[in-house]
Amino acid sequence: MSTDAEQGTAADGTTEQDTADPYAARQRETTEGTVYTVTGGDWDTLIDSDHDDRIVINMGPQHPSTHGVLRLVLEVEGETVTQGRAVIGYLHTGIEKNCEYRTWTQGVTFVTRADYLSPLFNEAAFCLATERLLDVEVPRRAEHIRVLLMELNRVGSHLVALATGGMELGALTGMTSGFREREEVLHLLEHLTGLRMNHAFFRPGGLAQDLPDDWREKVTEFLAVMRKRLPDYDKLLTGQTIWKQRMQGVGYLPVDGCLALGASGPILRAAGLPWDQRKTMPYSGYDEYDFEVPVATEADCYARYRLRVAEIHESLKIMEQAMDKIEPGRVMVDDPKIAWPAQLSIGSDGMGNTLEHVRKIMGQSMESLIHHFKLVTEGFHVPPGQAYVAVESPRGELGAHVVSDGGTRPVRVHMRDPSFVNLQTMPAMSEGGQIADVIAAVASIDPVMGGCDR
């Protein structure tokens, strides 16, 4: 028999073949059988020097910091983001396509559900484009009521941006305060239009109905509450050291980057360009109002935050001026081929039409009743052509492109939603920064996926 020395077996039972590979498991024979000893090595010597340390992680589409069902695919090296991609489409609802199967009036009830944080701006863009094809001007009272409601909606949308941004960066009191004030906005919108959101209150040619009798008192009360509570945000967030450290210098995107990517709204104005549709291309009588367009030059998340707070103050100024400009009169064009003969009226219970109003409609004449029925069910004819009208939504340029073939339904409706365009800035803001800074960057973009996907 050969000895252990002749076989090259060490005293601990390992063979020369085992020791040749420093990472091979050593083995030895015992009364219980063969035992393998597996030891760890130095990872720096184990891996190749040119090994790729990058990994790909998913953020969303259910992550609480993605502002809805947005999916971010991030390639990271350690904590540093080397590449970011936005994946959209999880909230696609076919709003634009559905408008092709509804009348022009019914189309409002679809587009209002796109950007669900600023529904009145969707309605305004769609109605202004339709009115351009119809070649009609809405009554002055309706025009200024639209301005009042849009600025109220802008305040509510910016409050959500502040609240959700605070929640994502750990400022929970900012979240609770923001949603507390937003409830004031929704209560007032419900009182004025009948619904908290998705109002379908703007109609081609004017408004669905007039404001309630006590609208002036309710708006005045709201303005007093907001003016009292707004300074608290400066105390709570603006000068807060941690808040500033998380946002200053983060998500930087200069004005040339904004223009190359088509960004608008607070992102563009925070980079130094005072582009605001209300000033540069006035609509709905905005040229009659005295207000400033807040601008910053830092082009970071903190600048966008301060800009939104400043815009809330300006919106309150516009609302005050709108109250003085709203005069008695009609809220729908005086054209029986467009306006419904039966002006809607809310009952004392806040629901439907009053019985007296219904009797008045029914008792006018059979011809007017038939005309009303056909106008509601078939809709009015819009001259053939196409029109694009843009408004300044809380997130930037929100445009509606509508096409008509002369019928009672649109041939094509397309919304130029700012969330869809602004999301392209996410990689430019995030790449080279840390994963935690992606949260701040997305919060400063303030995307709404309902408008992005449509």
> Would you say residue 358 has pLDDT above 80?
no
41-50, 87-96, 437-446: lowest mean pLDDT where? 41-50
Q: Which pLDDT does position 6 carry in this prediction?
A: 45
Per-residue three-class SS string for the chain: CCCHHHHCECCCCCEHHHHHCCCCCEEEEECCEEEEECCCCCHHHHCCCCCCCCEEEEECCCCCCCCCCCEEEEEEECCEEEEEEEECCCCCCCHHHHHCCCCHHHHHHHHCCCCCCCHHHHHHHHHHHHHHHHCCCCCHHHHHHHHHHHHHHHHHHHHHHHHHHHHHCCCHHHHHHHHHHHHHHHHHHHHHHCCCCCCCCEECCEECCCCCCCHHHHHHHHHHHHHHHCHHHHHHHHCCHHHHHHHCCCCCCCHHHHHHHCCCCHHHHCCCCCCCHHHHCCCCCHHHCCCCCCCCCCCCHHHHHHHHHHHHHHHHHHHHHHHHHCCCCCCECCCCCCCCCCCCCCCCCCCCCCHHHHHHHHHHCHHHHHHHHHHHHCCCCCCCEEEEEEEEECCEEEEEEEEECCCCCCCEEEEECHHHHHCCHHHHHHCCCEHHHHHHHHHHHCCCHHHHHC
What are 185's two structure tokens? Answer: 């906005």
Q: Which pLDDT does position 345 carry in this prediction?
A: 53
Residues 30 and 170 in one domain: no
Query: What span, in angstroms and rounded, lies between the C-alpha atoms of 21 and 19?
Result: 5
**Span 8-20, mean pLDDT?**
50
> Would you say residue 311 has pLDDT above 90?
yes
Residues 17 and 92 in one domain: no
**Residue 9 domain boundaries:** 4-46
Residues 155 and 208 in one domain: yes
Contact 207, 124 (CB under 8 A): no
Q: Does 10 reside within a domain? A: yes
> Would you say residue 348 has pLDDT above 90?
no
Residues 193 and 293 in one domain: yes
Express each pLDDT in 377-394 by its tens digit. 888 889 999 999 999 999
Residues 32 and 82 in one domain: no
Express each pLDDT in 126-174 by its tens digit. 999 999 999 999 999 999 999 999 999 999 999 999 999 888 888 888 8
**Span 103-123, mean pLDDT?**
92
Residues 123 and 242 in one domain: yes
Express each pLDDT in 61-102 by its tens digit. 877 777 788 888 888 888 889 888 988 888 888 999 999 999
Residues 294 and 397 in one domain: yes
Per-residue three-class SS string for 321-390: HHHHHCCCCCCECCCCCCCCCCCCCCCCCCCCCCHHHHHHHHHHCHHHHHHHHHHHHCCCCCCCEEEEEE
Out of 207-216, 308-317, 346-355, the most confident range is 308-317
Residues 278 and 234 in one domain: yes
Axis-axis angle for helices 355-364, 366-377 (nearest 10)? 110
Q: Does 72 reside within a domain? A: yes
Q: Which pLDDT does position 374 carry in this prediction?
A: 80
Q: Does 340 reside within a domain? A: no
Query: What mean pLDDT, rounded, does the chain reach?
Result: 85
Residues 205 and 71 in one domain: yes
Express each pLDDT in 215-242 by its tens digit. 999 999 999 999 999 988 888 888 888 9
Output the domain CATH number for residue 278: 1.10.645.10
Query: What span, in angstroms and rounded, lies between the C-alpha atoms of 239 and 232?
Result: 11
Residues 261 and 281 in one domain: yes
Q: Does 390 reside within a domain? A: yes
Q: Does 127 reside within a domain? A: yes
Q: Does 367 reside within a domain? A: no
pTM for this model (two decimals): 0.82
Domain count, the chain: 2
Q: Does 360 reside within a domain? A: no
Contact 121, 399 (CB under 8 A): no
pLDDT band at residue 1 under the 50/70/90 scheme: very low
CA atoms 264, 266, 271, 277: torsion sign: positive
Q: Does 17 reside within a domain? A: yes
Residues 35 and 64 in one domain: no
The rounded percent of the chain whose pLDDT value lies above 70 is: 84
Residues 142 and 288 in one domain: yes
42-51, 103-112, 422-431, 432-441: lowest mean pLDDT where? 42-51
Residues sharing a CB contact under 8 Å with residue 181, sequence separation 6 or more, in sequence order: 159, 225, 226, 229
